[in-house]
Amino acid sequence: MDRLRNLASQKAVVIFAKRSCYICHSIQTLFYELGASPAIHELDHEANGREVDRALKSLGCNPSVPAVFIGGKFIGSAKDVISLHVNGDLKQMLIDAKAIWL
């Protein structure tokens, strides 16, 4: 869990994903289109990927990816991110975390 916390706070936006997950790719694209440059951790291509995957599941992520952290805070999975985006809250969260500037 400490490893997860360290990774999640290394940048304003951190996304845990798997290269084979098309929803992960869509979430990453959304953040790039909003002007953010997230840290992407592809669990299926990292040495400690299984450990991080278990830690994400212990947070309640099911499935474990995509898992999004903004400003070191766990935001949720794809459905949570999309809901925040549709409501207009995601952009403000990115501004507050200094992930984007306007």
pLDDT tens profile 6-36: 889 899 999 999 999 999 999 999 999 999 9
Q: Give the domain range for residue 73.
A: 1-97
Region 50-69 average pLDDT:
90
Cα 73 to its chain centre, rounded Å, is: 10
- pLDDT band with cut points at 50, 70 and 90 for residue 76: very high
- 3-class DSSP state of 71: coil
Percent of the chain with pLDDT over 70: 99
Write a three-state SS string for 13-68: EEEEECCCCHHHHHHHHHHHHCCCCCEEEEHHHCCCHHHHHHHHHHCCCCCCCCEE
In a domain, 102, yes or no: no
- The domain that holds 91 is classified in CATH as 3.40.30.10
Contact 66, 9 (CB under 8 A): no
pTM above 0.85, yes or no: yes
